[in-house]
Amino acid sequence: MIPFDYERATDAETAVAAVTGNRRAAYLAGGTNLVDHMKLGIAAPEVLVDITALPLGDVEELPDGGLRLGAGALNSEVAAHPLVRRRYPVLSQALLTGASGQLRNLATVGGNLLQRTRCVYFQDVTTPCNKRSPGEGCSALDGYTRYHAVLGASPHCVAVHPSDMAVALAALDAVVRVRTADGERAIPVAELHRLPGEHPERDTVLEHGELITAVDLPPLRSARRSRYAKARDRASFAFALVSVAAVLDISGGVVRDVRVAFGGLAHKPWRATAAERALRGARATSEAFHAAAEAELADARPLRDNAFKITLARSMFVSVLRELAREESP
Ligand SMILES: Cc1cc2nc3c(=O)[nH]c(=O)nc-3n(C[C@H](O)[C@H](O)[C@H](O)COP(=O)(O)OP(=O)(O)OC[C@H]3O[C@@H](n4cnc5c(N)ncnc54)[C@H](O)[C@@H]3O)c2cc1C
Ligand code: SF4
């Protein structure tokens, strides 16, 4: 590992100033992703600004009935929080499918959102990768692509986003609160991560130095009936091949509202807007769920090793929605 300076921030303003003022500075939260990258030679920050002492660790109720997750709240704390489990089970379930108990005890909300792709070529500095070094080329295009994207990819990068939590947050219409050098801004989670386009080195719309302070969950009664399903190569401690986060609201057998996001398919959590459009106002039948999945996945383009993801995503979508529909029946 290359030597670096370490600072422990005690207030958000100083932390933001320290990172914004130095292109080679980075925030350190749980360190479970960043420190691995420093050991692998993928990241070499000159200064680490530790943000774990900032008062960002709480989960609190909002006046509108929503919930605010502090950016420093641990993944294990959020997953176990009674209000999260009762009001947003999809989020608790997503977190519990991620990593291991030990990692969840260190990983934070902000760090989980900003973890980088697990593309094996990105993690191997001996291979070309446009995300690590723009202009080098993409080793995955002619390589092993079982884990890679089928939606929204570009010739510059076919990597997928790895966070389970982010998929649930995208389905819930959560909003990321960000502190900048000049003030604050709010970004819907579904708009935080980018598709690769010509600049796969940019994972998100955040500017260097912007600090995530919290994630707000809107009041959403229907989210009490929600699910996260994850298909992976091992029963635990593995990233998603495909995952589905869904919230379904039915009245009299008709879909009043539906929110679905996929993980493992794209460079960002993939909000299934075409499927949602097809289902709103429709009868909640298996046929309608199948047709909605078809509509969403019509533009999916497999790589050499991952055509199975399209079939898997379709059947997971249908089975999760059928399960929720059964639960909502009187
Ligand atoms: C073996 C293993 C298996 C895993 N399996 C899964 C899995 O199945 N599913 C899953 O979702 N994840 C999985 N993970 C990833 C794990 O969830 C992430 O490593 C973790 O969530 C990152 O959080 P952290 O607080 O440790 O972030 P850090 O490593 O501290 O930071 C990650 C990045 O975020 C930046 N950052 C952190 N906090 C902020 C903030 N508040 N504002 C701005 N920037 C910030 C840092 O500068 C850094 O760039 C796995 C990790 C490992 C090592
Ligand atoms: S898919 Fe993206 S992250 Fe993986 S090698 Fe290609 S450019 Fe790099």
* Residue in 320, 89, 75, 325 with CA at minimum distance from that of residue 220: 89
Q: Is 121 in the pocket of ligand 2 (CB under 6 A)?
A: yes
Q: Is 138 in the pocket of ligand 2 (CB under 6 A)?
A: yes
The pLDDT value given to residue 1: 66
Rounded to the nearest angstrom, the distance between the alpha carbon of 14 and the centre of ligand 1 is: 22
Sign of CA dihedral 48, 50, 56, 59: positive
Q: Is 117 in the pocket of ligand 2 (CB under 6 A)?
A: yes
* Residue in 148, 156, 154, 79 with CA at minimum distance from that of residue 112: 79
Q: Is the pTM of this model over 0.95?
A: yes
Mean pLDDT estimate for the chain: 97
The residue ranking higher by pLDDT, 238 or 1, is 238
The pLDDT value given to residue 2: 86
Per residue, what are the HEC states of 51-108? CCCCCCCCEEECCCCCEEEECCCEHHHHHHCHHHHHHCHHHHHHHHCCCCHHHHCCCE
Atom of ligand 1 nearest to the CA of 43: 49
Q: What is the mean predicted confidence (pLDDT) over 98-104?
A: 97
Q: What is the mean predicted confidence (pLDDT) over 143-149?
A: 98
C-alpha 64/C-alpha 216 separation (Å) is 11
Q: What is the mean predicted confidence (pLDDT) over 167-181?
A: 98
User: Which of 1-5, 26-30, 315-319 is the least confident region?
Assistant: 1-5
Q: What is the mean predicted confidence (pLDDT) over 187-199?
A: 98
Residue identifier of the C-alpha nearest atom 13 of ligand 1: 99
Q: Is 159 in the pocket of ligand 2 (CB under 6 A)?
A: yes
* Residue in 78, 56, 38 with CA at minimum distance from that of residue 213: 56
Q: What is the mean predicted confidence (pLDDT) over 227-252?
A: 96
Instruction: Quick: pLDDT tens for 36-86.
Output: 999 999 999 999 999 999 999 999 999 999 999 999 999 999 999 999 999
From residue 93, give the alpha-carbon distance in Å to each of 151, 222, 315. 24, 16, 19
Rounded to the nearest angstrom, the distance between the alpha carbon of 7 and the centre of ligand 2 is: 32
**Are the C-beta atoms of residues 289 and 317 closer than 8 Å to each other?**
yes
Query: Please, which residues bridge with residue 175 across strands?
Result: 188, 216
Q: Which pLDDT band, with edges at 50, 70 and 90, does 328 fall under?
A: low
Q: Is the pLDDT of residue 329 over 80?
A: no
The pLDDT value given to residue 79: 98
Q: Is 160 in the pocket of ligand 2 (CB under 6 A)?
A: no
Q: What is the mean predicted confidence (pLDDT) over 155-160?
A: 98
Phi, psi at residue 82, to the nearest 5°? -55, -40
Q: Is 88 in the pocket of ligand 1 (CB under 6 A)?
A: no
Count of other CB atoms within 10 angstroms of residue 48: 20
The pLDDT value given to residue 147: 98
The pLDDT value given to residue 327: 84
Q: What is the mean predicted confidence (pLDDT) over 110-132?
A: 98
Rounded to the nearest angstrom, the distance between the alpha carbon of 329 and the centre of ligand 1 is: 38
